[in-house]
Structure 1
Amino acid sequence: MYKQQQIKQWFCGLSSITCQHISDWQKPHLGVLCAASAFLVLAAPVVNLPGSKLLAQTPISRDLETASFYQQGVTRYNRSDWQGAENAFRQALQREPNLAMARAYLGNIYLMQNRLDVAVQEYGEAIRLNPNLGETYYNLGLALQQQGKKEGAITAYRQALVIDPRRVEAYYNLGLVLYEQGLLQEAIAAYQDAVNLEPSKINAHHNLAIALQQTGKMEEAIVAYREVLKLDPKNAAAYSSLGSLMAMQGRPEEAIAAYTQAVRQDPKNALAYYNLGITLYNQGELQKASNAFKRAQEEYSQQGNLEQTEKTEQLMQQVAQKIEEQKLQQRQASTPKPTDNSTNNLLEKLTQLTAPKEQPANSGAVPVSDEQKQFPPIFPNTNSR
């Protein structure tokens, strides 16, 4: 059933921006990457309209033939028989063109068939006939948003909320289109209204966190990400984004813990591996950083992301060089340095090796004392007398 599905936004991709500018790879700290956009998934249209009750409960026309065709349309609509429902509503409108609810139902059928132009036309006609149809304003906003007509979508969602201020889906989708328009503060307000009305709406919490992060409200963003993880403890993207915020806040231990959870929940999360490597590198954990970068490089390569693959390979080379430098320093530190005593002993040995050797005495000669070596004997002067 369509009401069980969510319409994916046309630019639901995950892009990346550098959160900390690094002009060269020689700086001691490297910047992590952050998710720039996320989970822009539209809430489903309202398909259970007030006129979907039985004919006896909700008379739609005094003309029995018109009412009969209308009721056939409702019955077939509830059975997801779109073609049969369209035919029945068209027959009812041929007899009574001002049936606003028949127009609203036709708009829903065309929206579900992705026939956006005729859906917008039927919604507009339904609203002209009955300006109090809050569900129809909401569905009109949905169709316009999918057409890329963002200003019209904003107007339609806001009018839906004037009629029904508790329509969570309208706040949520309004937040999406405001975010796309770059109106971040207004998007934050819309997401906040959505989560206030429905605290379990995970996507609203997640998109609220991203908008808060992009407006520099880091602490509030952290709270919002933690709320996402409270509702969905296996949300790898939320762990990864939370890790980036922690790293930017100078809380590396918490960042590492968050990134570790991210890759545990999603072993193919290249961005989380990359940022884990960056944070470990900045902490001096070079071998662990190298392992994380290796996994990031493998995942980026499998994704076909050549730019990030090359960038990660450069980091791997840098880390490998740092590891070799550390090993060299450790080897040099382990070599014992000569002490004062060993130096003296060495000098004494060198002196002994370079000193002239004594000549052996003649056989039968009387040994000469040290004093005689240094001072020759003085003989008496025999010519004095």
Structure 2
Amino acid sequence: MTSVMSAGRDVELLRTLIERVDQHDPGAFNNLGVLYHSRGLHAEAVDAFLRALAIDPRMRTAARNLEIAAATPGACDARMAALDARVAADPDDRAAALERARLSRLIGRNDTAIRQLETLIAEDPDDAAALFERGLIEQRAGDLRRAQRWFERAVNLSDTDTDARLHLAEVLYQRGQNEQALECLDLLLARHADSADAHLLRGFVLGDMGRHDAAIASARIAAQLNPTLSTAQIDLSLESGGLAGTPIAIDPSTASGMMSVEPEGALARYGLGLAFRQRGYFEEARREFERSLAGGEDARMAEHALGELDLIAGRFDDARARYESLLALQEQPRWWNEHGVAMHQSGDVEGAADSYRRALRIDPRHALAYNNLGVALDDLGDHSAARESFVRASELDPTLIVARLNLSRWLAAQRDPLAALTLLRELVAFHPRDAESWKGMGTVLQALDRIEEARDAFLTAIECRPSHAEARFGLARVLERLGDSDGAARETQQALRYSPIRRESRLSVAIDLQRECPDAVGALELLAVQGGSPLRGIVLPTDDLAALLPEQAPAATVASDTAQSGLDAGARAVAMAVADAARTCDDADAFASRAVHGEALERYTRARVLVDMASVAEMEPTAQLVWQRATLGEARSLCLLGRGVEALPQLKRAGALWPHHPEVLALFAFAAASDAARDPASAELARTAMLRLLRQDVTSAALLHFAGDAAMKMHDEALALGFYRRALAHDPARPTARVAIARMLRERGDLLAARLELVAALSAVPNWRDAVLELARVHRDARRHADARWILVDVLKRWPTDVEALQLLIEVLVGEERAGDARIVVDRVLRHDPDNTGARWFDGVLLAQQSRTRDALARWARLAQCTEVDGFVERARHAVSHAVYGSGAPSDPARVA
């Protein structure tokens, strides 16, 4: 009983300490939090650590203690519940939502914090505080490149934000960009000369640049502004092995296992390792990370850093073991992606593909994992799925060079050099110093026999990277064709200095570290021979083997000639026609992938005619498959061109052969729905096909979305919603289905649900145009005109001639009663599109608001004579037909000039 009373008195004494603690001393609040935690006052400990971090957000000891304390059941429940209640009571309370996300970050719930912050950013892309918090998460995770991008956005939006600029300078310093870091700090100190942290960091930067006298001067200024920087402080730290409620000694020399004494800067070894790694000193970085482990620093961060170094060094088995131990503790998309790279490099392509898919299940927006999955799928022979993965990676992150390079290489390998060239030209326009892109362009131009252009591309690649052996090999071959034998020999000699063997470009995987320090890391070589280990994951076809072994070639040739002689002329003609049709389908696929459906239709039709015989059922299996491919491609193109009715005859023939084929059912449903207005029986046929498709286990999100569009053509929203939801279940990152659902909800008037769907779509693919415009429509319908206006202005910054966005902006400005601004936008739209019905309608509205009724009715009368079916045309007809005599304008449209 006495011990209980003593413990109660201790708790009361501890609670009174808060009034005596120096309110500007973060170390005091940190140590007080450790004492609270030792007495079982976990909620009070969390409050104390949060107070410490509010005073000094960079205090890593308090941050780590907060994570440990918050892991105790109930420690943060009350605080988090209060914030949840504030957000639930007022969904527009951004301050509460931001505070909740910040708390989630501080207590180590990074996945939750990321989701909350990205929702805030999707709603307001100019929220500098949310952008800064997002950058802090990436900086803590060690992804310095992404952290820099978030901090730069925050600084650009809020130039007075001291913390964002200071963290940006710190990241620049850690990435080895000392000149930029110094410039950033000088701008900060020009406005806030009393920032001790800025002066201290400036001293580190100057020291790293060799300017030691200036570095010492900056450190002295920092110490004068904050004397605690030059004194040794004892900050208590919680250890995860302790038991809650265990008494501890305040004297550090008698501290139990629950408490240790360590100076601020607990990740010093890890940070030094990052600095070495950034500059390409990988062995030095490895030693520092190993010392970080031995010194008790964050084991997961150090193990992950060592795993990345193992990947770079080719120690695939070591890397795989490290990632498996990390993933046993916590599953992270970055770790699964890099685990897949380790397996991919060692030859286990199927295992690698599974790891990439696991990364995408956790984070469907992980562009690198999509890129790497595309490489694995191409290695496994699934070329069409590989292309889709590269396209998705490029859509999710347009700055991901490796995905666009892989897509261009894939197109070149699939005999579409023109498409590859178009993609490479776009790539070098945005990244003019990327040597690999210029080298790829040279290779494609050479294949197109555009020799002089190829020479210029190879020369640019060498200018960007003089050690690029493959570019020099390519230049030598081009010079030889141009008759410059001396130049070709010179370039070959130079190339051999950098690489003794010739390697053609192939699809490549990547890890985040390559983006953080691209100059230091370079490319990862897949399936390379390391340490004498055998080459795994490669299958040599018989033809390739015969080419490698010339002594076998005569026998192989004789056998081939003998087999060929057994074919009659008719069979040879059929085989040639089928092969030609297959090549034509390849060309059509390339056009269809770029949405050039007219060109694709022409080629699919040509391919079908080549193999179109009296009875499809009597064809050889190969010819039958080519006919199916051509017919479905032709039908798909017709549907997308709005001519679905023309596809019905061929689809009926295909349906007779393959009655359960999912794509046949989906295309037939769409084509029949297109014919429903003319023939009511077609509507029932379309519904039957869709119900049969719904009963199948279809896994293609694109096909399910297509079926949903067919249901919408029949105005069956319930059926369409079912297809869209199934598409999302198979591909949560696909934004098109969410936008379609949001459009349905908006038209029903359920604006909140529509907004949530759009926020989810934009979190998967930020700034996706269709989702952004639909979100603007939701705000317009909810009469939140200011929100809609900000969204549309941001869209028009990226696409100034987007007529649809301009038309929406007119509606919003009219709703805000900003007639002058609306007039400017109306005139702009009519300059771009004189026949735009929306702009013509609002032209009349603005005139009517100026009491120029006769002019308004004249505009509407001309608009009412349009033949196209449009909501604005119907409004104009209604306005003209209801005009009242005596209002200054005739009500008869025929009398209006």
Alignment match, 1:257: 824
Corresponding residue SS for 1:132: coil
Q: Which residue of 2 aligns with 1:296?
A: 856
Deviation at 1:276, TM superposition (A): 2.7
Residues paired across the two proteins, number: 242
Q: 1:109: which partner in 2?
A: 668
Gap runs ≥5 in structure 2: 1-383, 386-581, 583-618, 637-646, 675-681, 866-875, 890-897
Query: Which has the larger helix fraction?
Result: 2
Residue deviations 1:180-201 (CA, integer Å, cap 9, x gap): 2222222223334445545565
Question: Structure 1's 300 and 256: CA in aligned 2 closer, same or farther, altered over 3 A?
Answer: closer
| Aligned pairs for 1:1-385 within 5 A | 69=624, 72-80=627-635, 82=647, 83-84=649-650, 86-93=652-659, 100=660, 102-113=661-672, 114=674, 115-198=682-765, 202-230=769-797, 232-235=799-802, 238-249=805-816, 251-267=818-834, 269-278=839-848, 281=850, 290=852, 293-302=853-862, 303=864, 305=876, 307-309=878-880, 311=883
> 1:308 is aligned with what amino acid?
A
Partners of 1:116 and 1:162 in 2: how far apart? Answer: 27
308-317 or 261-270, which deviates more: 308-317
| Change over 3 Å in CA distance of 1:148–1:80 after alignment to 2 | closer
Of 176-185 and 66-75, deviating more is 66-75
Secondary structure of 1:223 counterpart:
helix
User: What do residues 211-236 of structure 1 show as CA deviations (whole Å, max 9, x unaligned)?
Assistant: 21111222211123224434553455
Distance 1:314 1:240 in 2: 32
CA positional deviation for 1:147: 1.6
For 1:99-142, what per-residue CA distance to the aligned partner results, in whole angstroms no more than 9, with x for missing partners?
x5x24323313413534543443343344342534344323322
Tell me the alpha carbon deviations over residues 259-305 of structure 1, each in whole angstroms, 9 at most, x when there is no partner: 443444454643222333355x3xxxxxxx64xx5543222112154
Contact 1:103 1:122 in 2 (8 A): no
* 1:180–1:136 CA distance, 2 compared to 1 (3 A): same
Counterpart AA for 1:72: W
Shifted more, 74-83 versus 145-154: the winner is 74-83
* Residue identity matched to 1:258: V
Indicate how the Cα distance of structure 1 residues 223 and 166 shifts in structure 2: closer, same or farther if over 3 A, else same.
same
Residue identity opposite 1:73 in structure 2: Q
CA distance in 2, matches of 1:231, 1:126: 40
| 2:735/2:765 contact within 8 Å kept | yes
**2: CA distance, partners of 1:203 / 1:86:** 34
Report which structure shows greater RCO (CA 8 Å, sep ≥6): 1
With over 3 angstroms needed to count, the CA separation of the structure-2 counterparts of 1:201 and 1:117, relative to structure 1, is farther
CA change 1:265–1:76 in 2 (3 A) is closer
Q: 1:154·1:174 contact (CA, 8 Å) conserved in 2? A: yes
Give the C-alpha shift of residue 65 in structure 1: 7.7
Determine the structure 2 residue equivalent to 1:377. none
Q: Contact between 2:739 and 2:774, CA under 8 Å: does it hold in 1?
A: no
| Equivalent in the alignment of 1:33 | none
CA distance in 1, matches of 2:817, 2:847: 16
After superposition, give the CA deviation of every residue in 1:290-324 in whole Å (9 maximum; x if it has no partner). 4xx5543222112154552465987767xxxxxxx
Counterpart residue identity of residue 846, structure 2:
L
Shift of 1:79: 4.3
Structure 2 residue matching 1:104: 3-state secondary structure: helix
- Give, in whole Å, the separation in 1 of the partners of 2:669 and 2:736: 20
CA distance in 1, matches of 2:732, 2:884: 49
| Cα distance change of structure 1 residues 232 and 118 upon mapping to structure 2, 3 Å threshold | farther
CA distance change for structure 1 residues 134 and 238 in 2, over 3 Å: closer, same or farther? closer
Residue identity over aligned pairs, in percent, reads 17
- TM-score, with normalisation over the residues of structure 1? 0.51
The answer as to whether partners of 2:761 and 2:771 remain within 8 angstroms in 1 is yes
Give a deviation string over 1:82-111, Cα, whole Å, max 9, x none: 544542452245xxxxxx5x2432331341
Q: CA deviation at 1:154?
A: 1.4
- Which ranges in structure 1 are unaligned for 5 or more consecutive residues? 1-48, 55-63, 94-99, 282-288, 318-385
Q: What amino acid sits opposite 1:90 in the alignment?
A: A
Q: How far is 1:143 from its partner? A: 2.2
- Tell me if the contact between 2:755 and 2:775 (Cα under 8 Å) persists in the aligned partners: yes
Relative to structure 1, is the Cα distance of residues 278 and 294 closer, same or farther in structure 2, using a 3 angstrom cutoff? closer
> 1:225/1:166 Cα in 2 relative to 1: closer, same or farther (>3 Å)?
same
Give the secondary structure class of the aligned counterpart of 1:145: helix
Q: Is the 8 A contact 2:823 2:846 kept in 1?
A: yes
Q: 1:146 to 1:244 in 2, by over 3 A?
A: closer
Letter of the 1:246 counterpart: L
Map of 2:640 onto structure 1: none
Partner Cα distance (2:761, 2:821) in 1: 29
- Shift of residue 171 of structure 1? 1.7
Residue 69 of structure 1: CA displacement?
A: 4.5
What is the CA distance between 1:161 and its match in structure 2? 0.2
| Structure-2 residue corresponding to 1:59 | none
Q: Distance in 2 between matches of 1:185 and 1:208?
A: 11
Aligned-partner SS, 2:749: coil
The separation in 1 between residues aligned to 2:650 and 2:822, in whole angstroms, is 56
Structure 1 distance, partners of 2:706, 2:814, is 41
* Residues 130/221 of structure 1: CA separation in 2 closer, same or farther (3 Å cut): same
Question: CA 1:108–1:174 in structure 2 vs 1: closer, same or farther (change >3 Å)?
Answer: same
Report the secondary structure of 2:695's partner residue.
helix
Kept in 2, the 8 Å contact 1:138–1:160? The answer is: yes
Contact between 2:705 and 2:727, CA under 8 Å: does it hold in 1?
yes
C-alpha distance in 1, partners of 2:790/2:752?
A: 17
- Label 1:170 to 1:117 Cα distance change in 2 as closer, same or farther (>3 A): farther
Matched AA of 2:736: E
Mapped partners of 2:830, 2:884: distance in 1: 17
TM-score under structure 2 normalisation?
A: 0.24
Amino acid at match of 2:653: N
- Cα pair distance change 1:109/1:152, threshold 3 Å: closer
Name the CA shift for 1:88/1:263 in 2 (closer, same or farther; >3 Å).
Answer: closer
Give, in whole Å, the separation in 1 of the partners of 2:735 and 2:888.
47
Contact 1:127 1:133 in 2 (8 A): no
* Separation of aligned partners in 1, 2:724 and 2:816: 36
